[in-house]
Amino acid sequence: MLIKLTGGIVYDPASGIDGQQQDIYIRDGRIIAKPADAVVDKEYDLKGKVVMSGAIDMHTHIGGGKGNIARTLLPEDHRQDPVHRSDITRSGCGHAMPSTFVTGYRYAEMGYTAGFEPAVLPNNARQAHMEMGDIPILDKGGYVMLGSDDYLLRMLTAKKDQKAINDYVAWTMTSAKAIGVKVVNPGGINAFKFNQRKLDLDEQNSHYGVTPREILRVLATAVKEIGVAHPLHVHGCNLGVPGNVQTTLDTIQGIGGLPMHLTHIQFHSYGTEGDFKFSSGAAQIAEAINRNKNITIDVGQILFGQTVTASGDNMRQHANHKHASPNKWVTMDIECDAGCGVVPFKYKDQNFVNALQWAIGLETFLLVDDPWRIFLTTDHPNGAPFTSYPHLIRLLMDRSFRNDVLATIHPEAQKMTTLASIEREYTLQEIAIMTRAGAARLIGLKDRGGLSAGNWADITVYTDNADRQKMFEKPDYVFKDGQLVVVDGKVVSTKWGTTHVVKPQFDASVEKGLKDYFDRYLTMKLGNFRISDDEITEDGRGSISVHPLQGDVA
């Protein structure tokens, strides 16, 4: 079957193509060069349409226990957004934390074809993969969480060398079927179990004597030395704490030039100026990002309305529980491995802090120069549900719209932001970088996020519209692996995406120490902990795509 997409205006930053008219050919799920004399089986006339590759959400909480706790916690939220079944789609629920099937449909209906769960606890990795296994259409993958696990902290206390840590990190990634490594409140989740209620960058864990700065250094080094494309994915210390802009700047400085991704940086960009002792640190953060080329960020934009925050950071979530709306919340300590905290939030435009958070996120987007190093996220569902992305894109691309909204938020917050004076409007190419080419490059996906021959045919077609929200919320067509899955913003067919992983090598002797540790202290045998490939593929719909490591011979 040969498909031809004719005459669309193509935005493909991976190939340096910025709004040029081009035809695209698809065969066997992949984009191919123009064939010499083959007969086109199906042609789509895309004259005047905007063509991009399928969007990739590089940080979205779509799989794992905390998300399911969030679902269970909020039946009243689901009841406001029931989703009917159809002949081709399953029923479910939407809004803040949608059901798995609805997650897949709604992402696809916005032109997204991949999503990555950033907080896969090793002990909960099976659940993360099983939930993602029930998300149709999308490709998926996960970043495995380390840094508060007792095994690593014991290694640091015992002064194990970097090689031993690399082996442990590689073993964990392979066992948990991950494509990246994340650290959440480095060592802080662990410290909370010892009743520490805060942990600064240079503050010691009371039991291990290890600091977050040390944890970040060894993990960032491990990720780099193992050759994982995605830099260490960091949810820093002091999330949400006024004054944490300094922590974030110190974190950037402290990593010493190693590649590092700072996630939902909006929540880590707060100063203490002004009458309310809460101010924007976005300008300082953006300046640091612009200067330090080893750093990438995603924003974690908040948008006003009801949502639920689900995080591995039980220390900070416990501290934030007094803001829970509705007033119910969950924290858990988990398996000498990690933790979680689930707190419903209602961000209000007339609340000074929330209004300034909104402005801080937008300032960050607009003040960071390089779209290849900044990514569009709301930290779904923590800042807002992913379904708000088209609205967020309009805020970035349309200054007058942005200023209209700005004029409606809490007046004191308006005085505390420079947003009104920022003239920048994102271009379509910059949006395509942030949500496609840049994300694929950041994660290390070798054949996604681009439209040149050889890429999988994940393609989204939009009708150009000055109202960018309308444009991005209803693509004309979405193709996933060459299959037409969405027409006019509605799912017309479904399929199963693949699970993206890396399989780094490690010294097999690493399992000696781990087996002893599992037998003595954990609740599961080492052999029962490792996730096998067939757990993802045995139901006949999952598949695994292994991506190369840096230094691999292609």
Partner 1 sequence: MTEITEVPSPFCGIGTDDLTIKVDGVLLKVIENGCAVNTPAFEQPITDTHARVSGQEVSLEVAVAKAAELLKDTKLPLIGGCATDVNGMRGLLALADKAGAVIDNMNFTGARNNFLALQDSGWMNTTLAEVKNRCDLLLVVGTDVEAFAPRFFERYLWNKESMFLDDTSSREVIYLGRAPSGTASTSPTGKAAQVLPCAIEDLPEVIAVLRALVKKQPIRVTSVAGIAVADLQAIADKLLAATYGVVTWGAGALAFRQAELTVQTLSEMIKDINNQNTRCSGLPLAGKEGDQTANQVCGWTTGYPARTRFSSGYPEYDPFLNETKVLLENGEVDALVWVQAFNVNAVPPETSLPTIVVGRSGMTFTKEPDVFIPVGTPGIDHAGHAYRMDNVVAIRLKKLRDSGLPSTAEVLNAIEHAL
Chosen residue from 60, 99, 148, 166 binding partner 1 by CB under 8 A: 99
Element (H, E) at 440: helix 438-443
Per DSSP, the three-state class of 144 is strand
Q: Of 56 and 308, which has the nearer Cβ to partner 1?
A: 308
d(CA 513, CA 322): 42
Q: Is 260 in the site for partner 1 (CB under 8 A)?
A: no
Q: Of 64 and 504, which has the nearer Cβ to partner 1?
A: 64
Inter-CA distances, 262 with 58, 216, 295, 415, Å: 12, 11, 7, 27
Choose the stretch contacting partner 1; rule: CB under 8 A; options: 276-284, 331-339, 347-355, 421-429. Answer: 331-339
Q: Is 163 in the site for partner 1 (CB under 8 A)?
A: no
Choose the stretch contacting partner 1; rule: CB under 8 A; options: 129-137, 171-179, 397-405, 504-512. Answer: 129-137
Chosen residue from 7, 13, 54, 92 binding partner 1 by CB under 8 A: 92
Q: Is 337 in the site for partner 1 (CB under 8 A)?
A: yes
Chosen residue from 105, 116, 329, 456 binding partner 1 by CB under 8 A: 329
Q: Of 97 and 428, which has the nearer Cβ to partner 1?
A: 97
Q: Is 206 in the site for partner 1 (CB under 8 A)?
A: no
Per DSSP, the three-state class of 232 is strand
Chosen residue from 331, 378, 417, 494 binding partner 1 by CB under 8 A: 331
Q: Is 543 in the site for partner 1 (CB under 8 A)?
A: no
389 exposure class (CB count in 10 Å sphere: 0-12, 13-18, 19+): buried
Chosen residue from 27, 160, 198, 207 binding partner 1 by CB under 8 A: 207
Binding mask 285-324 for partner 1 (x = CB under 8 A): ---------------------------------x-----x
Inter-CA distances, 1 with 24, 47, 148, 410, Å: 14, 22, 50, 56
Q: Is 544 in the site for partner 1 (CB under 8 A)?
A: no
Q: Is 525 in the site for partner 1 (CB under 8 A)?
A: yes
d(CA 137, CA 269): 35
Dihedral in degrees, nearest 10, Cα atoms 437, 440, 446, 451: -30
Q: Is 511 in the site for partner 1 (CB under 8 A)?
A: no
d(CA 112, CA 92): 19
Smallest separation (angstroms) from partner 1 to the CB of 86: 9
Q: Of 96 and 405, which has the nearer Cβ to partner 1?
A: 96
Element (H, E) at 117: strand 112-120
d(CA 125, CA 143): 10
Smallest separation (angstroms) from partner 1 to the CB of 122: 10
Asked if the bond preceding 98 is cis, omega within 30° of 0, the reply is no
Choose the stretch contacting partner 1; rule: CB under 8 A; options: 64-72, 364-372, 379-387, 466-474. Answer: 64-72
Pairing verdict, β 139-145 and 112-120: parallel
Smallest separation (angstroms) from partner 1 to the CB of 273: 30
Q: Is 523 in the site for partner 1 (CB under 8 A)?
A: yes
Smallest separation (angstroms) from partner 1 to the CB of 410: 28
Q: 495-521: b or e for each residue (b if 16 or more CB lie within 10 Å)?
A: bbbbbbbbbbebeeebbebbeeebeee
d(CA 467, CA 455): 30
Residue (of 315, 451, 311) closest to 381 by Cα position: 311
Binding-site ranges for partner 1 (CB under 8 A): 65, 67-68, 71-75, 78, 82-85, 90-93, 97-101, 121, 123-124, 126-127, 130-131, 134, 150, 154, 192-195, 207, 318, 324, 327-337, 342, 520-525, 527-528, 531-532, 534-535, 538-539
